[in-house]
Structure 1
Amino acid sequence: MTYLVIVAFVAILGSLAAALVFMMRGGGQGDDTGSRRKNPMAKALAFRVGFSILLFVVVLLSYWMGWIQPTGLPLRG
């Protein structure tokens, strides 16, 4: 499970870096002739948001199924 979370964070950061590259190149806007292309920056950010939500749901389901346990600091009384 640890490796899955690490890979997910790397994918999230990678898509964020890709969006930054597309933004620095001009946002991937199409020409002014009216043709509508998909904006690669928006696609990269949408992938990041979707993957973040998917990671949250997987961690939540893993906790609910008992595959992972919380290991926080013990409470002092």
Structure 2
Amino acid sequence: MKIIVIVAFIGILGALFSAGVLMLRRQKGKASMARALALRVGLSVALFLIILFSAYMGWIKPTGLPVSH
């Protein structure tokens, strides 16, 4: 599970970096930048859904914050 999260996070950062580079270059137009940002949003939503599904299936357990009285 950790590998999936790390790979997805690297993909999200890569798409964000790609959109930033395309924004600064302005050579390929706004369509490429919009596509890169849409990919980033799609990867973020997919990662969120994978984490929710994993918690539902019991593959990961929420620990919460320790409560001290």
TM-score (norm 2): 0.91
Larger Rg: 1
For these two proteins, the number of residue pairs brought into alignment is 69
Q: Name the counterpart of 1:22.
A: 22
The gaps in structure 2 that reach 5 residues or longer are none
Q: Which has more helix, going by share of residues?
A: 2
User: Which residue, 53, 58, 76 being the options, matches 2:68?
Assistant: 76
RMSD of equivalent CA atoms: 1.5
> Deviations for 1:4-35, whole angstroms, at most 9, x for unmatched residues?
00000000000000001100111622xxxxxx
Q: What is the percentage of aligned positions where both structures have the same residue?
A: 54
Following TM superposition, the consecutive aligned residue runs of length 4 or more in structure 1 with deviations greater than 6 angstroms are: none
Distance in 2, matches of 1:69 and 1:27, equals: 46
Contact 1:27–1:41 (Cα < 8 Å) also in 2 = no
Aligned to 1:33: none
Q: Is the 8 A contact 1:15 1:45 kept in 2?
A: yes
1:27 touches 1:39 (CA, 8 Å); kept in 2?
no
